[in-house]
Homo-oligomer: A and B are copies of this chain.
Amino acid sequence: MTTALYVGRFQPFHHGHLHSIRHVLKDSSEVVIVIGSAMTSHQADNPFTSGERIEMIHLALSDQGIGRDKYQVIPAPDVEVHSVWVAHIESLCPPFDVVYTNEPLTSRLFAEEEYEVRRIPFLRRNIYSGTEFRKRVLENEDWREIVPEPVAGFLAERGLTERTRRLNLSDRL
């Protein structure tokens, strides 16, 4: 019975994230989902708040029958000092046994502190990514296939694709 740590920014929560969480839950009884850059929002690359990202995660996992006893979500603010990042996460979260990540910095930092770090097989990485989502929103292409259906509904109803579009316009001025 192990607890896994899984870190992401979830801008937004897409099919790749869902696939990763399913993968992690094959070997772990529970996953601690850390929302990285929790206090960053309303930026071109980071349009959504921590609260909005939590809602997306609950909507997507509930829709797939993954109950709240299988995961918890912890928003983690950035720390500017990378060398204390692992200590920061250990302090914010319940204990965990193994870390799942494909991100080289996160991987390196946990490995230097002697954690077991495992990679996750990517799922159609060129499509299931926040970058692709934002590009499609901006160019009025089909962004709905990138995210789970309840997330798509949430983004539309709350005006969050409109926010994404405006913030990315900003960058192009």
> Chain B residues near A49 (CB, 8 Å)?
83, 90-92
A64 at the interface (CB under 8 A from B): no
Which label, helix, strand, loop or mixed, suits the secondary structure of the A interface?
Answer: helix
| This chain: copies in complex | 6
Structural contact, A84 and B88, CB atoms closer than 8 A? yes
Q: Which residues, 76 to 103 on A, are CB-close (under 8 Å) to B? A: 77, 79-88, 90-95, 103
CA distance A170 to B85 in the complex (A): 17
> Chain B residues near A39 (CB, 8 Å)?
77, 80-81, 83, 91-92
> Chain B residues near A75 (CB, 8 Å)?
74-75, 92
Q: How distant is A4 from chain B, measured CB to nearest CB, in Å?
A: 15
Structural contact, A38 and B170, CB atoms closer than 8 A? no
CA distance A79 to B41 in the complex (A): 12
A104 at the interface (CB under 8 A from B): yes
Residue of B nearest to A55 (CB): B94
CA distance A74 to B77 in the complex (A): 12
Q: How distant is A163 from chain B, measured CB to nearest CB, in Å?
A: 6
Q: How distant is A169 from chain B, measured CB to nearest CB, in Å?
A: 5
A43 at the interface (CB under 8 A from B): yes
Q: Which residues, 122 to 168 on A, are CB-close (under 8 Å) to B? A: 163, 166-167
> Chain B residues near A54 (CB, 8 Å)?
72, 74, 93-94
> Chain B residues near A118 (CB, 8 Å)?
none
CA distance A61 to B39 in the complex (A): 28
Q: Which residues, 8 to 51 on A, are CB-close (under 8 Å) to B? A: 38-43, 49-51
Structural contact, B83 and A38, CB atoms closer than 8 A? no
Query: Closest 7 CB pairs between A and B?
Result: A104-B170, A42-B82, A83-B91, A68-B68, A87-B87, A84-B84, A84-B87
